[in-house]
Structure 1
Amino acid sequence: MAAHDEDPVGDGALDRVTWALRRAELAVQALKEQRLRPLGMAAAHYTLLMSVHAEPGLAGAELARRLSVTPQAVASLVARLEGRGLLERREHPRHRHVQELHLTDAGREALRAADEVIADIERQITDTLGGDESTQLRTLLDRVTKTVRDA
């Protein structure tokens, strides 16, 4: 048997829960990118702005850990968003080498507009699923998250 004829994955690989989760995430991310583009924003910008909104004063290194990206990736995004006037860095009150991230007024407005787009995507999904299935999906995803974090 030639090497190209061998099955590179195990039986049922395309039916795995983890593969279904990944396909769903890719589809949602693609739709976010498409719908946020007219606002001049990428999904990564929305995620970063939302994270800073949720926890004002986060440092770049901590933000990178929470988003599971490199500090360099966060620094690049922060520089871009700061250049657009959406974020500002402030000196940490006790650690002068640490800079805290905060939304500007323009950043809050941009986040509000982007969140309307994301909420519309959410409505499309939940309208299709209905209330009971939406609640069930959220519960199951929360259980998956806990299981993976506890592993």
Structure 2
Amino acid sequence: MKRNDEQPVAFNALNRVTWALRRAELAVSTLKEQRLRPLGMAAAHYTLLISVHSEPGLTGAELARRLNVTPQAVASLVARLEGRGQLERREHPRHRHVQELHVTVAGRKALLAADSVVDDIERQITDGLGPKETAQLRTLLDRVAETVREA
């Protein structure tokens, strides 16, 4: 039996692009959580609200696929936001067993406040990079996503 420190790992494992992407994602996620917390909102709530706001009428299953989370996770988030009066379910016009999700007036107010926080984080990042590097980063990240989808 081998000990964990004897497992073969590439010498540059922590220098991989995938690890750099993960570190960046964790740093941004942590900052969002810290700055949204005073608003009583988690980053997951913001993500769900902005998704439904941009595409009213999404179902829980559609949201789960788009956000790459389980339907149970979406159901839990929906229940919490619905309990706060920020989200509402409406019967689908053609499928009576399907419920569409819609942001309420209270949800739009909460989303507006949260989006201001996220916009500040975006500005912090883009100010640190500058316009040219920001454009390059967006292009490169789009290419990464495209390359991974094609794999």
Q: Is the TM value for this pair above 0.5?
A: yes
Distance 2:22 2:29 in 1: 10
Which residue of 2 is the match for residue 64 of structure 1? 64
Deviation at 1:108, TM superposition (A): 0.5
SS of corresponding position for 1:57: coil
Structure 1 residues 78-132: Cα deviation after superposition (integer angstroms, max 9, x where no partner)? 0000000000000000000000000000101100000000000000000000000
Letter in 2 for 1:147: T
Runs of 4 or more above 6 Å deviation = none
Deviation at 1:150, TM superposition (A): 1.1
* Residue ranges of structure 2 left out of the alignment (5+ in a row): none
Which residue of 1 is the match for residue 125 of structure 2? 125
Which residue of 2 is the match for residue 140 of structure 1? 140
Distance 1:79 1:142 in 2: 33
- CA, structure 1 residues 63+129, in 2 after alignment: closer, same or farther (shift >3 Å)? same
- Which TM-score applies when normalising by structure 2? 0.96
Which residue of 2 is the match for residue 100 of structure 1? 100
* Residue ranges of structure 1 left out of the alignment (5+ in a row): none
Aligned length: 150
Distance 2:4 2:65 in 1: 39
Structure 1 residues 28-82: Cα deviation after superposition (integer angstroms, max 9, x where no partner)? 0000000000000000000000100111000001110111111011000000000
- CA, structure 1 residues 7+59, in 2 after alignment: closer, same or farther (shift >3 Å)? same
Letter in 2 for 1:58: L
Deviation at 1:8, TM superposition (A): 4.6
Which residue of 1 is the match for residue 34 of structure 2? 34
Which residue of 2 is the match for residue 115 of structure 1? 115
Letter in 2 for 1:102: H
Letter in 1 for 2:78: V
Distance 1:129 1:7 in 2: 38
Calculate percent identity across the aligned residue pairs.
Answer: 80
Deviation at 1:6, TM superposition (A): 1.5
- Which TM-score applies when normalising by structure 1? 0.96
Which residue of 2 is the match for residue 17 of structure 1? 17
Deviation at 1:3, TM superposition (A): 2.0
Letter in 1 for 2:93: P
